[in-house]
Structure 1
Amino acid sequence: MTKITFVQQDGVRIDTEAENGSTVMETAIMNGVPGIVAECGGACTCATCHVYVDNDWTEKVGGPSMMEEDMLDFAFDVKEASRLSCQIKVKDEFDGLVVHVPGRQG
């Protein structure tokens, strides 16, 4: 299992275990992570699973696709490290991944 940590805006850390092949969003929903709404269920059509990939992980996770960039236009407080968690597929290389949950979703 791949470990993923979700950091809430108040600094509270939620450690989870994810199955490879699932998405970071699915992991958040299965673990009841507050702030990940995921209204569209992972179809990349709502931007309510917006996260900030921790600086130590941005290069390894990579940037958004063109479609994801278009959807990020609908997210609040988009930053360079912004990603839609439904578009980040879990794999062994992401063991220890840290993402930050914004204070508000779209």
Structure 2
Amino acid sequence: MSIRLTIQDADGTILSLEGTEGDSLMSVIRDAGAEGLLAMCGGCCSCATCHVVVTGGPIDALTPPSADEQDLLGALPNVTPASRLSCQVPLSPALDGLCVTVMAEG
């Protein structure tokens, strides 16, 4: 089953993407070439360069951030209560329709 995602990249471009169960949100956004998602650590939860803000869709279906993710997010200047590291969001059918904005570094 495809999981539909709406992504606004750092340039403001809206992308309609699809992922599959088990993919990370980061890999789907990165593979689409979305502007602003650096993902420098490749998904190891060690750099925070895959910062996104969840803006809509089934927000309640997201797994809570781990302590490591919370620590990395806490060091960012533009963090919001809806901030997540996209590498830490595994896609599932419950997330179909999720909407996120890629946050530019700095």
User: Which residue pairs with 1:43 in the alignment?
Assistant: 44
User: Which residue pairs with 1:100 in the alignment?
Assistant: 101
Listed as ranges, the gaps of 5+ residues in structure 2 are: none
Relative to structure 2, which stretch is displaced further, 1-10 or 78-87?
1-10
Distance, in Å, in 2 between the alignment partners of 1:76 and 1:31 is: 26
Deviations 1:82-101 (A, max 9, x none): 00000000011111110111
Displacement, 1:5?
Answer: 1.0
Relative to structure 2, which stretch is displaced further, 80-89 or 59-68?
59-68
Relative to structure 2, which stretch is displaced further, 43-52 or 73-82?
73-82
AA paired with 1:89? P
Aligned length: 105
AA paired with 1:50? H
User: Which residue pairs with 2:68 in the alignment?
Assistant: 67
Q: Give yes or no for the alignment of 1:25 onto 2:26.
A: yes
AA paired with 1:99? V
User: Which residue pairs with 1:57 in the alignment?
Assistant: 58
Work out whether residues 10 and 35 of structure 2, in 8 Å CA contact, stay in contact via their aligned partners in 1: no
User: Which residue pairs with 2:83 in the alignment?
Assistant: 82
Work out whether residues 8 and 100 of structure 2, in 8 Å CA contact, stay in contact via their aligned partners in 1: yes
DSSP 3-state at the match of 2:53: strand
Deviations 1:47-97 (A, max 9, x none): 000000114433221431111001112333000000000000001111111
Aligned-residue Cα RMSD (Å) equals 1.6
Distance, in Å, in 1 between the alignment partners of 2:25 and 2:98 is: 10
